[in-house]
Amino acid sequence: MAKQLNWLQVERTIRKNRLSLFSPQDLRHLLRGSDISLRFLLTRAHKRGEVVKLRRELYTLPDSLPSELEVANALLRPSYVSLLYALAYYHLIPEAVFTITSVTPRTTRRFEALGKVFTYHHIKPVAFAGYRPEKVGGRIFLIAEPEKALVDSLYFASLGKLSLPERLNISALDSEKMLALAELFRRPTLTAKVETLV
């Protein structure tokens, strides 16, 4: 039988487990409370400003906000940070990028959370590769490897869905890895474009 809970118990559990992001399902597993009561407590806490709602079923505490990169992974799963944001992260382009760009095998989406814009671009599941875990502030998020960030960007540029900056600093990238990653898309024009760069 599900036990009766109050918000103080829920908040204590969130902090004890160091959850920077959580859903009602996460709390149900930890607290063994009923789905209805946990949703009710979260709704009330959100109205009081004690939790921040990032999207349906995803919350955080206002005094321990996750990084935008951690949020990017959580808003739509599976996904990894890539494209222009990742190129800027690796200093492959000189421009600052304010929209957090990711790729996903799911449908293209856009979210606004924590005053930021998060966009997700659809790629074929077979090309959903070439990413790695990175740690920032003790938290792990998934981001494209530098070569994959460039190949993903070239792919969307070839579709006319992305404009690449003129200045690209790709001298340190692994050309063989770039070609192998381009092959995943099974798009000869993309492979040819990568070949001209390497």
Instruction: Compute the distance between CA of residue 27 and CA of residue 59 in angstroms, rounded to an integer.
Output: 11
- With cut-offs at 50, 70 and 90, classify the pLDDT of residue 3: low
The total number of structural domains in the chain stands at 2
Q: Is residue 116 part of a domain?
A: yes
Q: Is residue 1 part of a domain?
A: no
Which residues have CB under 8 Å from 14's CB, separation 6+? 22, 27, 61
Instruction: Compute the distance between CA of residue 156 and CA of residue 99 in angstroms, rounded to an integer.
Output: 16
- The per-residue pLDDT for range 6-62, each reduced to its tens digit, is 999 999 999 999 999 999 999 999 998 888 999 999 999 999 999 999 999 999 999
- The per-residue pLDDT for range 59-102, each reduced to its tens digit, is 999 999 999 999 999 999 999 999 999 999 999 999 889 999 99
- The per-residue pLDDT for range 133-181, each reduced to its tens digit, is 999 888 899 999 999 999 999 999 999 999 988 899 999 999 999 999 9
Give the CATH number for residue 19: 1.10.10
Domain holding 131, by residue range, is 68-197
Q: What is the DSSP letter of 67?
A: P
Quick one: tokens of 174? 């692994």
Q: Is residue 117 part of a domain?
A: yes
**What pTM did the predictor assign?**
0.92
